[in-house]
Each structure stands twice: as C-alpha cells, then as structure tokens.
Structure 1
Amino acid sequence: MELTKAYKECENIIKEHSKTFHRAFSLLPGDQRRAVWAIYGFCRTVDDIVDESEFPEEELRVFEQEFSNFLNGQIDSSNARWVALADVFSKYDMNVQAFQDMVKGQKMDLAHRDYRTIDDVLDYSYHVASTVGLMLLPVLAPDNEKELRESAVQLGYAMQITNILRDIGEDLERNRVYLPKDVMSRHQYSEERLYERIGGEQFNAVWEELAGLAEQHYDAAMEKMHLYPVYSRPPVKGAAVLYRAILDEIRKNDYNVFSVKNYVSSREKDRLLSS
C-alpha cells in the first residue's frame, strides 16, 4: 500500500473516533502529525478488538502475533496501519515496551478485573493510557523523552480517569465497573446502586473524589510542559486542557453519566484552545 494512503487511512480512524485528539494533534508539523495518526491506529485496533469483536481473545492473539512479526521486519504491505507504523518505527526510536504494555492493559478488560483500590485503577490507567503517552514521546519530544516520562504517565492517569468518569453508563452495559470499591465504600455507595444507575449525593461524592484525583494528575503533568519542544507543546497542552474540560461538562450536567454522553462543544474547544 502506498504510504500517503496508509497515513490518510490512519488519520480517518482518529478523526472518526477521537475528535478531541484529532483537533489537538492537527497542530503538529507534518511528519509528527502523521506519526501520531499511525500510533493511534495501533491503539484503536487493539481497543476495537476488545470492545467490539465477537471472539476478542482469539483476535487479540492473532494481533499480538502480527505485532511480533512486525517487530521482526515482516510487514503486511496490504494493511495501512502496519505500513504507516513501519514508517514511524524507521524514523523514531520507539518504545516497544509501551506498545506491549498497552496490549496487556486491554487484556485486563477481557479478564473482567476487579478494581478494589485507587492503585488498581491507576495500574489499569497506566497500561491503557499512560502507555500511549510513552509511545508518543519519541515523536513529540525526542530530546527530552526520559525527562518527560513521568509527566506522560501522569497525563495518562488523568485522561483515563476522565474516561472512566465520563463512560460509566457505557461501561455498565459491558458489565465493567472501574470505580474502586474502597472509594464507593468510603462514601456509602454500592455497586448494586451503580448498576441501578442511581445517582445522588453519595454517587456524586464518589465521582468527585476521582475527579479530584484526575485534576491532581493533570496539574502534575503540566509542571513539565515546558520540556516539550515548541512544535509539540501546544497540541499536548491542548489535548490535556480539552480532556480536563470534560469533567466540568459532567458537573454542568449534574453528574449524569448514566444516560448522557458528555462532551466539550466545538465552540468551547475553540475558546479553550485560544485562551
């Protein structure tokens, strides 16, 4: 497959599935922008296998073998995602372990892991979200990659907790609960009430404790933002700001995460990115 076409297919994937990330990372220069599209294509493939496939365990094993073949130089030239990613790996010193850890994180969903503590949630968040930041660092900040690793991990924590708090209703439909049991217990809220989609003060208190934790991680990630080069600082900061704004949208909607898909409007995104 022709390389330009492969990258375009990857861009279409991120444009369809994550308007926030597409909007933010479109600010990058051409090579870096296309690399982000390709890395997102990898992540989206794994995510779709776990969430949409009828036989996710089998498909994930096939995907892992394909990635192993990819790392050994056996590229499926008919698959746009592998073609684009191969070009990325040829240009940047990529963190292979981050890709492998991300797949490991997706397996946690297949295992229906029990989340008893905040540490359990952070471990999951590292594997499915912080790893994405670690994948992107060689592209976004090749000279300061090591210095920015902890910041990338922090931002991944923040964004994934935001995802969890936004997608509670959707996750319940898949019989997935990411709210840690000790936090629910602390606020006298039960998993039974969660499955019944009962809100109120106790649920709001659980939600706010986790939102506060996410905001702490956003703040921690921002402390190292100056270490990103000029070309990648605006998109990284923009993605963080736009994602953090989801929390305030949920607050505006009176914590309704059971029947409403909370999102930041295009007008609000424009305001946030220009401020």
Structure 2
Amino acid sequence: MLSTAYVPGSPNWIDLGTPDTAASSDFYAAAFGWGYQSAGPEGGGYGFFTQDGKMVAGIGPLTEEGAGAAWTVYFHSPDADATARAVERAGGTVRFGATDVFSFGRMAGFTDPTGAEFAVWQPFETGGLEVVGVPVSLTWTELYTTDAGAARDFYRAVFAWEAEDMDMGPGMTYTVVRPEGTDPDAAHGGLMRLPQEHVDAGATSEWHPYFEVADCDAVADAATAAGATALVPPVDAEGIGRLARFTDPSGAPFAVIKGATS
C-alpha cells in the first residue's frame, strides 16, 4: 500500500493538467470535497488540491503543445538527471529535462516506449504528497499499455521495480509492481495490456490514479452529477474492493476504489 514514507521508485506526487483550472477545481470539489490552494503569483497558475488542509494532488494549466487533460503520476527519484539518462538507455523519451522547482524539488518528464507519459520528483524541501491511502487521496497507480512486456522491462530498467504477474483469465495478465527491495505489502501499482478492441478504437498507453473512497457508489453519483463520464460503473472486484473508472469533464481519466480492507 502507498505510504508517505517515500522511497525511490514509489509514487510521491500526482497532478492534473487541465485547460480550465477553475472548472476542474469545481469538479473535484463536488466529486471529492477537495479544497484548492494557489501556489501564488510565482506559480504560473499552479495550485494544490487539499483534504483537511493537507496536499493530496497538484493542478495546473496545460503547458505542452497539443497536450490534453490528464493526470500525471510522479515517481520518487533520488537523482532526476540520472533517471533521465536511465530512461533514454531503456528506450524511453525525455519530454522535459530535469529542472528545479524553486527550493521544493527537482522534476523531469518522460514518455515510456509504449507511449505512456510519467514524471519523477526528486525531493528537496517537499518530499511529496502530504497524505495518501485514505479517503479521498491517492491509493494506487495503474498503467494501461499497448505492450505490457515492453512496459514491464522498461520500468524495471529505470526504477528496478519488483514485479509479480497475476493471471486474470484467458490471455490477461496483471503485473503488480513495488519499489526495489520491498515486500508485497509495499505494492503501489499495476501494469495491464489494453484490450485489442480498445486499441482498435483509438486507446493509447496511459497512467492513471486510483483514489480511495469511503463509498464508491456515492462518489460515482457525485462525479457523474458534476459532469464526469463513467467508463466503468461501480463494480465489485473479488478480494480487491469496489471500484469505478471515469473521465472528468476535461477528459482526464481517473478511478476510485473502496478497498476490500478499508
């Protein structure tokens, strides 16, 4: 499970890039009850979603040409420049090179060989999100990819993740990942091949976040009432919990889950 005791390779930040930060802030306030805090005039329109006064995510305007609304998952890196070199050696692409964010940390953005975008955060003053794993905060990260084998090899090369394959039925494998040297309880995400019919319909590789919720159905109702599109209505997953997947009104995909043990 996720923890704020961040270690190399673990998710330590997420943020939403959106064409309309005010509208997106209103949506997540309605769906999750999140507050909003501006990063100030020097932040370039960036801000923070908050829950009980603690940072649960970032939000900012789209800055890359042609980009669409999306959540970006950041993984802890002790050296963002070294991670950039590892990404290139493993066949990925550097979207933007390592740069300092004031005195808070150092970040860099990448695209994996299957086309999924992600980033890293090297902490200075800010270690990462202030709360995870409780309603309504980040609890899991998931990659839908056009090539699960290539994705698994890439991320293991870059982050040295431990990986365990789970049989999900005929032709389906779900790979659970966790930071190097940790036990299975430290799992933070999964990799899964996109169904061919989704690829044929135009789906591309993407990371998306899961947010823990106290009541999946109630949050699904609130999200759709606020303008989200349900991709997967609330459904029970044996031994995992009750989950649902959406795109928010700006088109960014995300998921919610009421964990089986939460």
Structure 1 length normalisation: TM-score?
0.30
- Structure having the higher Rg: 1
Q: Give the strand-richer structure, 1 or 2.
A: 2
Structure (1/2) with the larger helix percentage: 1
TM-score by length of structure 2 reads 0.31
